Amino acid sequence: MAPTPDRDTRILAFANQKGGVGKTTTAINLATALAADYRVLLIDLDPQGNASTGLGIARQDRAAGSYALLVEDGKLADLVRPTAIPNLSILPADPDLAGAEVELVGLEDRERRLAAGLKAGAEVLSGFDFVFLDCPPSLGLITLNALVAAQGVIVPLQTEFFALEGISQITRTIDRVRRALNPRLALDGIVLTMVDRRNNLSELVANDVRGFFKDKVYETVIPRNVRVSEAPSHGLPVLLYDFRSPGAQAHIKLAAEFLKRERARVPAR
């Protein structure tokens, strides 16, 4: 994988208002795979802090993180930390983040707090090729901040019965944010997660989603794989927990497809 020549930092949100669809898993593992060749920053915006835990940062070690940036005008340079994975840094979710959804309401420019915080930390940000925003399972103010700060959105989608209804909610939100707050925002891709090939419904839904969203949908699908669900309890991405597992291999393939798309992308502006 030859790194792309210097382009601006790419900021991508991993968003879907549903919980348990694979946002965090996709963000962590794509970030880990990319960190082999690129400098990546993962910003954990979910009060549950699963991305932080999944990258080995235990709850008691979180200290100041994304809450400080969003609500307290914290400086990115003071808040970003390395992970055990070379080239992968994290802005963890601090315990106070649960309050941000409510506290943001009273703040000026409440939808642009994250964008402003990242802009203020432009020097730190320029040290990264990719910044991934792991969103909480809602379309509240935290996710809105992510969509305003991002250039693109990746929507992990679990192939289940109501998948198409669920995705229309997030795509409508993306359209609204693009019109009102962030004209450059694009739906960059949909990743089908927890796909079970033995399950007809899973295949049917996958076909429906592809029929509707065409090449927005990644060819690579992430299979349901128990190793993926075991990895976070070891504080490791599945890529490091069990490299040979089907779940890990699928994420490596996803990263290759992601980079192929990134290279084909016409730079905005």
Residues 82, 84, 86, 92: is their CA dihedral positive or negative? negative
Do residues 94 and 72 lie in contact, with contact meaning Cβ atoms separated by under 8 Å? Answer: no
Cβ neighbours for 214, distance < 8 A, ≥ 6 positions apart: none
Q: Which two tokens stand for residue 6?
A: 């210097």
> In the complex, which residue's CB is closest to Mg ion?
24
DSSP string for residues in 123-165: HHHTT-SEEEEE--SSSSHHHHHHHHH-SEEEEEEE-STTHHH
- Of 1-9, 86-94, 103-111, 224-232, the window that binds ligand ADP (rule: CB under 6 A) is 224-232
190 CA to centre of own chain: 12
Tell me how far, at minimum, the Cβ of 179 lies from Mg ion, in Å.
27
Nearer to Mg ion, 50 or 87 (CB): 50
Residue 224 interface partner, choices Mg ion, ligand ADP, none, CB cut-off 5-8 Å depending on type: ligand ADP
Out of 10, 13, 25, 87, the only residue in the binding site for ligand ADP (CB under 6 A) is 25
Nearer to Mg ion, 28 or 174 (CB): 28
- Footprint (CB under 6 A) of ligand ADP, residues 168-207: 193-194
Nearer to Mg ion, 23 or 39 (CB): 23
Do residues 237 and 165 lie in contact, with contact meaning Cβ atoms separated by under 8 Å? Answer: no
Nearer to ligand ADP, 121 or 232 (CB): 232
Nearer to Mg ion, 40 or 259 (CB): 40
Residue 262 interface partner, choices ligand ADP, Mg ion, none, CB cut-off 5-8 Å depending on type: none
CA–CA separation, 88 and 99 (whole Å): 27
Q: Which two tokens stand for residue 27?
A: 């963000």
List residues near Mg ion by CB under 5 A: 23-24, 46, 50
- Of 4-12, 23-31, 184-192, 213-221, the window that binds ligand ADP (rule: CB under 6 A) is 23-31
- In the numeric block, the tokens 């320029």 are attached to 126
Do residues 10 and 186 lie in contact, with contact meaning Cβ atoms separated by under 8 Å? Answer: no
Nearer to ligand ADP, 65 or 232 (CB): 232
Query: Residue ranges of the alpha helices (H) in 80-126?
Result: 97-103, 113-120, 122-125
- Footprint (CB under 6 A) of ligand ADP, residues 52-111: none
Binding mask 225-264 for ligand ADP (x = CB under 6 A): x--xx--x--------------x-----------------
**3-state DSSP call for residue 216?**
helix
Nearer to Mg ion, 23 or 224 (CB): 23
Give yes or no for residue 21 binding ligand ADP (CB under 6 A): yes
Q: Which residues of 107-130 are buried (b: 16+ CB within 10 A; e: fewer)?
A: eeebbbbbbbbbebbeebbeebbb
Q: Which residues pair with 202 in a beta bridge?
A: none
- Footprint (CB under 6 A) of ligand ADP, residues 103-132: none
Give yes or no for residue 151 binding ligand ADP (CB under 6 A): no
- Of 20-28, 57-65, 94-102, 203-211, the window that binds ligand ADP (rule: CB under 6 A) is 20-28
